[in-house]
A and B are shown apart, each in its own frame.
Chain A
């Protein structure tokens, strides 16, 4: 479904991705972990060309996304992206955030879009918050609206960039529940997250990144339970002891 082939990414003279290769099959869930600055965000951002790459290829459904034939706006409808900071549109209500793409990009009628939006909100447990403005919602609720906004576009893949690390601890669970439901429903997902419980439960594979490369990859049980690279073991200790290393 998604294939990285020797992907190189430079920010000026700084190499953010150094020959990353890997594959995410249909229905698989991959979890990316690694220290800050290791290139996790950059890697998933290459999938929808939020970051252009300088070397290698990124393929979605065997099509090179850099090719001229690819309509990037169409591709982005099929690949949902969830941000750490939610990035809801503050001038639109929860349902307005969701229906914007349906009405303006899909050409859906207002009533139909609202119905669809309500269904997506129900799926993330927020049907009764449809007409609230983002500013009136808690962080966990905002992130769930953001997920619903992506899901409304019928994506075939969902990318998550630390969806819970801006949240207060008591709200992490409600977002993870939604993500687990998605995984159980067979969604193809790449998740940057340090929630090891989540990884253990739903990940088919964990990729451990460091300095722009995937240093180690394997089944969660193998990697987390001390069979992995010594660097990974050290990293996992900082995550579990120090809490979230991003705070």
Chain B
């Protein structure tokens, strides 16, 4: 007898719930890591623009570490390494509050920030120095000129590469299953091992990942379009 492809088995009852919880967790992890990545990316960029060489080296070190060490290792460092350095009450707090989710978000966010900082930096480089100078001439300080004039323009230019980073970040959340975060891949494994419907389970997961990826791309195309219109 041939193999019968049957989605009903994995898309009903508690298994459907598991998928939905998985999707929600994946999205939450993506959002949390993304916010951290953007904030950290902007901070790294601003630090790098301060004309003090040691600060520049620190940022370069940060970027190189996060780009050259496997992401899974970075996640393990946060999950196994960092808590062991913390005092006991902090460790207990982490364990009581879904520590694995928090630490995975931190690891993913910080790694993504390294790439985002590079994207923003090349965006900033493409803004003529005269823009910065004009802002300073009105009376803005360094931060005001960067924050209100240079960065808003640089971010528009950086939209396409940032969408790319968002997609990568979204896909990389699946690595968090390695430390027990109940995101989509983790839940898929669970469904699979309960139902033995391996192919169906991963077909569903694949479809969900694809759908969300396309969603992110569409959102990116839309915001890129809008920013372009605004800037004209």
Contacts and interface: CB of A to CB of B under 8 A. Distances in A.
A73 B134 contact: no
B153 to A, nearest CB: 5
B138 A150 contact: yes
A130 B131 CA distance: 20
Contacts of A136: 232
A48 B148 CA distance: 20
Interface size class of B (residues with CB under 8 A): 20 to 34
B144 to A, nearest CB: 6
Contacts of A101: 138-140
Contacts of B133: 50, 83, 87
B139 A153 contact: yes
A133 B232 contact: yes
Contacts of A104: 140, 144, 148
Contacts of A135: 231-232
B225 interface: no
Contacts of B156: 91
A218 B51 CA distance: 43
A100 B156 CA distance: 18
A contact residues, range: 20 to 34
A73 B231 contact: no
Given A85-B130, A104-B144, A136-B232, A90 B153 contact: yes
Interface in A87-120: 87-91, 100-101, 104-105
Interface in A40-82: 48, 50, 73-74, 76-77, 80-81
A149 interface: yes
19 contacts: A73-B140, A76-B138, A77-B138, A80-B137, A83-B137, A85-B130, A87-B131, A87-B133, A88-B134, A89-B134, A91-B156, A91-B231, A100-B149, A101-B140, A104-B140, A104-B144, A105-B138, A105-B144, A135-B232
State the 9 A-B residue pairs at the shortest beta-carbon distance, nearest first. Answer: A77-B139, A87-B134, A81-B137, A76-B139, A101-B138, A73-B139, A87-B130, A135-B232, A91-B153
Interface of B: 130-131, 133-141, 144, 148-149, 152-153, 156, 230-232
